[in-house]
Amino acid sequence: MQRSWIILVTTACIMMPIYVWSPPILVFFGETAEISRAAGKFALWMIPQLFAYALNFPIQKFLQAQRKVMVMALISAAVLIIHAFFSWLLILKLGWGLVGAAIMLNTSWWLIIGAQLLYIFITKSDGAWNGFSWLAFADLWGFVKLSLGSAVMLCLEFWYLMVLIVITGRLPNPLVPVDTISVCMNIDGWDAMIALGFNAAISSAVAAETTDLAILLGVTVLLNSLQPVLSASWRVVHTFPKEDVWFYDLLQGIWSGMIGGICLQTVMLIIITCITNWSREAEQAGSRVKQWGGSLHEDDQSP
């Protein structure tokens, strides 16, 4: 966990200038000045969340490995209640808009991190946590190489969705298409702010465009529900492009192109899953665990 913190916080520092200079970057890629200014303002306020991601993901994996899923669920549920109330207060009641949304996103993530760390420090995670150690700085490059394939896969998995929004911003009268595609992204991902999705859908024009995409969105959700299971052990296959978009009707064309890419990726993952020698993969995984100082139980070693 500590090695992951070091690597991810360093990566967050490297990425921070992109957040700072996001308005001219978006203008360079063809976004309108209005959208670029709004996105740039939001990006600046979201810098704390960038570092929250760097700390939270290793903590989650650590607690999952200790089978502390219920603890994570209770913390998340408590923060969700706080998040929902204060999001309503800041965004709708006080009218803070994107700034209010960014403040609550940052606050919620850091509340989760603080509560999880407090639990780890107090309970010691049944002996799994022995405090901070300088050994976390040992062989960092080896750890980076081990996780590089996963990082590339996850980055491309999220980037291709974000590229859709950038492409949508180049359509005529881009404000309504961007709002519409953002609503669909929120429904598809389930991890974005539902409040922001409904807020964008208030516009009658946005709501009408979103309704036209409902069937395509349902197909996307179905395919995305299959992919996490199939792709759990694969980190390189996700580098295949998904943006061969067929613009038969603006937004419908963009979303259909994404569905086509997901279908192709799903078929490839099914084929690779069927032809893989899983016994050999298990042996290689066991060797990596031993290399990093871990040990295998007898049940884990059985075929």
Whether residues 125 and 150 share a domain: the answer is: no
Asked whether residue 283 falls in the same domain as residue 150, the answer is yes
> Of 136, 166, 188, which residue is a domain's last?
136
Same domain, 151 and 224: yes
Which domain, by its residues, includes 166? 146-292
Give the end of a domain, one of 103, 136, 169: 136
This prediction's pTM: 0.59
Say yes or no: 132 and 170 in one domain: no
Q: Are residues 247 and 182 in the same domain?
A: yes
**Same-domain status, 12 and 54:** yes
**302 part of a folded domain:** no
With CA atoms as reference, report the closest residue to 14 among 58, 41, 50. 50
- What's the pLDDT score for residue 81? 93
Check residue 116 and give its pLDDT.
Answer: 92
Model pLDDT, residue 111: 94
Picking from 136, 161, 189, the residue at the C-terminal end of a domain is 136
Q: Is residue 299 part of a domain?
A: no
Residue 172: inside a domain: yes
- Are residues 75 and 196 both part of a single domain? no
Residue type for position 192: A
Residues 182 and 227 in one domain: yes
Q: Is residue 298 in a domain? A: no
Q: Is residue 300 part of a domain?
A: no
Q: What's the gap between Cα 13 and its chain centre?
A: 18
Considering the domain architecture, whether residues 210 and 114 belong to the same structural domain is answered as no
Residue 94 lies in a domain: yes
Could you tell me the two tokens for 178? 């961007």
Phi-psi region of 138 (alpha: psi -120 to 50; beta: other; left: phi over 0): beta
Residue 205 within any structural domain of the chain: yes
Asked whether residue 245 is assigned to any structural domain, the reply reads yes
Q: Are residues 116 and 2 in the same domain?
A: yes
197 and 113 together in one domain: no
Alpha-helical runs (H) found in the chain: 2-20, 22-28, 33-45, 47-65, 69-87, 97-123, 140-168, 175-189, 194-201, 204-212, 214-230, 251-275, 278-291, 298-301
The total number of structural domains that make up the chain = 2
Q: Are residues 117 and 196 in the same domain?
A: no
Q: From first to last of its 303 residues, what are the pLDDT tens digits of the chain?
A: 788 888 888 888 998 999 899 889 888 877 778 878 888 888 899 899 999 988 998 888 888 777 788 888 899 899 999 999 998 999 888 888 888 888 998 999 999 999 999 988 888 766 667 777 777 777 777 777 777 777 777 777 677 667 777 777 666 666 666 666 666 666 666 544 444 444 434 443 444 444 454 455 454 444 444 444 444 444 434 443 444 343 445 566 666 666 776 677 778 777 877 887 878 777 776 776 666 555 555 554 444
The CA distance from 128 to 109, in Å, is 24
Among 262, 258, 199, 205, CA closest to 230:
262
CA distances from 149 to 79, 128, 228, 239, 242 (A): 32, 27, 16, 10, 18
